[in-house]
Amino acid sequence: MHEQVQEGRTVVVDRGLHLRLRTDMTVDVVRHARGVLAVGVAAVVLGVVLARPVTGVVVALVVVVGWAVLRWLHLGRTMRHGLGVGQSITVGHRLDGDPAVVVTDATGEVELGRGSVLVVTRFRSYVTVHGRQLSFVLPAGLLTEAEIGFLEGHLATPEGAESAPEPASALPLSLTLTEDVTARTGAAIARAVTLSADSMMPVVSALAFLAVGAAVRSGAWLSVGAVIAVVWVLTTPRVALRARSAVRSAYPLGRTLRAEVTADSITTELDAVVLAVRWEMYDARRVTADAVLLRRKGPFLSPDVFSVYPRDLFDDASIKTLTAALPRGF
């Protein structure tokens, strides 16, 4: 039996749209490549110190432009699956059963229910749907504001109906998300991210350059260390702000967050979306007065991944179960 899907909006990717999407995605990736940009700035400063400013600028351009070209080529391969020239993308609504947004492209069809998306971000010609299980890119304009609100769990239907009362939940722990709760939870994850080993690596590198420069009395080494330190100081607040924003998106004000902690897993429910995660997914935990943070080590040379929950959600018994399941702290 086939489900009925409302005829929706369709966009055919022509060469012009493909070029805009590819260009904007490349720009977005490069502007977030803090390490590449820091190397470029360091090359310019080192060129000035060594009285070779032109060489420094050329090296910086080679590094940044080279990285952009690599990303451009990579996107050319990945965009063949769903965003290739001549391919079409359709967004419609399921007409029977529970409400859902249905996205159909060259790779197949995916149904997204209410609250199945953490956040939808926009940049120039495209939007990125950050799902709880998968993420993908769509041309801007395909998703309406009502559909985005539905996917993020703020609205009851893709047409924009207000949220219905939440059904009764069997999960024993519950917490109403207030401004104070989200602020304290956001501050906790911001501290964890900015003080993680990944974030502190530039600090260690800067100190190493400064120490060597002071020991050998080299202006070049001192300059590179100073540049790395300045870049870290300028970019770290942005990282913290993004972490706080992610918490606000994941925990909308006024909603009720529910949870259950067992010896095998942690289960949460928000806006009728239930997510169960086994403890094997994490390697360490941190319990503070404001939040409970769970850490998963990322792949080689990749940053760690954190999950964060408001501390007020848990009672003493659940914290005891959690710490027994994850004895290692960080």
Q: What is the pLDDT along the chain (330 residues), one digit of tens a residue?
A: 445 556 689 999 999 999 999 999 999 888 877 777 777 887 888 788 778 889 889 988 998 899 899 999 989 988 998 899 999 999 999 877 778 899 999 888 888 888 888 788 899 999 999 876 578 999 998 999 899 988 887 788 888 766 555 555 678 999 999 999 999 999 999 998 888 877 788 888 889 989 998 998 888 888 888 888 888 888 888 888 888 888 887 888 888 899 999 998 898 888 766 777 888 888 899 999 999 999 887 554 456 778 899 999 999 999 999 999 999 998
Contact of 239 with 194, CB cutoff 8 Å: yes
Q: What is the pLDDT of residue 289?
A: 92
Going by their DSSP bridges, the two strands 9-12 and 88-93 should be labelled as antiparallel
- The strands making up 88-93's β-sheet, listed across from edge to edge, are 9-12, 88-93, 101-105, 108-112
In 3D space, the residue among 193, 203, 309, 178 whose CA is nearest the CA of residue 253 turns out to be 178
Contact of 17 with 11, CB cutoff 8 Å: yes
Q: What is the pLDDT of residue 1?
A: 40
Give domain limits for the chain.
Answer: 15-78, 85-151, 173-325
In 3D space, the residue among 240, 254, 245 whose CA is nearest the CA of residue 179 turns out to be 254
What is the amino acid identity at position 6?
Answer: Q
Both tokens of residue 188?
Answer: 């906790």
Q: Is the dihedral of CA 265, 270, 275, 277 positive or negative?
A: negative
Q: What is the pLDDT of residue 89?
A: 96
Contact of 223 with 46, CB cutoff 8 Å: yes
Q: What is the pLDDT of residue 112?
A: 87
| 200 contact partners, CB below 8 Å, separation of at least 6 | none
In 3D space, the residue among 29, 251, 234 whose CA is nearest the CA of residue 119 turns out to be 251
Point out which residues pair with 285 in neighbouring strands.
294, 329
